[in-house]
């Protein structure tokens, strides 16, 4: 199966978080059993915080929004409207690509390539999860990553800040990383629409993941 056969799904409106997790869990089981194909699912969530498997309770600074415990890797992060969350459900075994580190690096390359299309120079930093940008001589996070793998099927994924309410990040220490800010495409002066971002995400995904087609 080539990447063109991956199902791409865009959900309109705000998707409740627990609904999304239940849908991912069911789809992963169907992929494992051979009942369904791979899926890239693009959603927006209402304002909320999620805690990954490495979360530190001290990094939750506010109870303004609900906190959900989740099985993905990583620490505490924020989701909300204006942020494009992309759940990536791929079968690494069938793709002959059973290298989780390489998969994570490809997710980072995908986000960096997407940002580049809008004139934003994203990069990674050793010891700091996510994709970062320079903003007025400060490094700020613009995208977060957190995945889970079950029997070589991936789920959860990435979150790209298009135009979320950045003040909502004040309630957490994002991903447990202190001393650095958070930004968005709009805050950097790039007023891209969600539809425009979605189109580029799909184009760049095909390019980054083409080498591991089945």
All structural domains of the chain, each given as residue ranges with its CATH number in brackets, are: 3-212 (3.30.930.10)
Model pLDDT, residue 127: 83
Contacts 24+ apart (CB under 8 A), 174-179: 174/76, 174/77, 174/78, 174/141, 174/144, 175/74, 175/75, 175/76, 175/77, 175/129, 175/130, 175/141, 175/144, 176/54, 176/55, 176/56, 176/59, 176/75, 176/76, 177/128, 177/129, 177/141
- Residue 92, pLDDT score: 95
pLDDT tier at 212, thresholds 50, 70, 90: low
pLDDT score recorded for residue 3: 45
- Residues annotated catalytic, as ranges: 175
List the single range of 2-6, 33-37, 45-49, 101-105 with lowest mean pLDDT.
2-6
pLDDT in tens, 134-175: 998 899 999 999 999 999 999 999 999 999 999 999 999 887
């Amino acid at each position: 199966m080539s990447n063109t056969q991956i199902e791409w799904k865009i959900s309109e409106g705000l998707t409740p978080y627990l609904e999304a997790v239940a849908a991912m869990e069911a789809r992963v089981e169907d992929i494992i059993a051979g009942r369904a194909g791979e899926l890239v699912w693009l959603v927006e969530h209402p304002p909320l915080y999620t805690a990954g498997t490495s979360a530190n309770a001290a990094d939750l600074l506010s109870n303004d929004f609900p906190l959900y415990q989740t099985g993905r890797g990583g620490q505490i992060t924020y989701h909300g409207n204006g942020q494009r969350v992309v759940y990536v459900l791929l079968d690494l075994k069938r793709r002959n690509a059973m290298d989780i580190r390489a998969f994570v690096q490809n997710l980072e390359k995908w986000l960096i390539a997407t940002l580049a299309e809008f004139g934003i120079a994203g990069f990674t930093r050793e010891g700091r999860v996510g994709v970062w940008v320079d903003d007025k001589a400060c490094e700020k996070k613009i995208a977060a990553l957190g995945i889970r793998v079950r029997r070589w099927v991936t789920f959860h994924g990435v979150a790209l800040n298009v135009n979320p309410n950045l003040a909502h990040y004040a309630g957490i220490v994002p991903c447990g990383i202190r001393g650095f800010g958070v930004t968005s495409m709009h805050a950097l002066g790039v007023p891209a629409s969600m539809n425009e971002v979605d189109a580029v995400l799909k184009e760049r995904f095909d390019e980054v993941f083409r080498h591991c087609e089945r």
